[in-house]
């Protein structure tokens, strides 16, 4: 019974410390670089894109972990309109 209780206490403490560590990490200001896919739209008929143009863009962002957390799970494409 004692071994089972100590194991349960260990896992509860481990879970609590993991949650506190995550909140501490996400509350700090950080700089990250993310890569997003781009899509160029509304290209005039007289222009042709070269096959060598980059289809991704690297974006350097700075902010708190809580603000940037959602950006790492979004896989949306950026639509860039040709003017």
pLDDT average, residue stretch 26-40: 85
What is the value of pTM for the model shown?
Answer: 0.53
Give the pLDDT band (50/70/90) at residue 42. confident
pLDDT for the residue numbered 11: 95
DSSP 25: H
Question: CB–CB of 43/79 below 8 Å?
Answer: no
pLDDT for the residue numbered 13: 96
C-alpha closest to that of 54 among 41, 37, 71? 37
Q: Read off the tokens for 40.
A: 């160029």
Strand 78-81: give its sheet, edge to edge: 56-64, 29-41, 78-81
pLDDT for the residue numbered 15: 97
Mean pLDDT, rounded, of the chain: 83
């Amino acid at each position: 019974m004692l071994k089972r209780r100590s194991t349960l206490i260990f896992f509860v403490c481990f879970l609590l410390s993991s949650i506190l560590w995550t909140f501490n990490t996400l509350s700090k200001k950080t700089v990250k670089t993310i890569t997003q896919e781009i899509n160029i739209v509304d290209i005039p008929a007289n222009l042709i894109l070269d096959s060598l143009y980059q289809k991704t863009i690297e974006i350097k962002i700075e902010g708190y972990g809580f603000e940037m957390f959602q950006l790492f799970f979004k896989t949306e494409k950026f639509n860039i309109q040709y003017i």
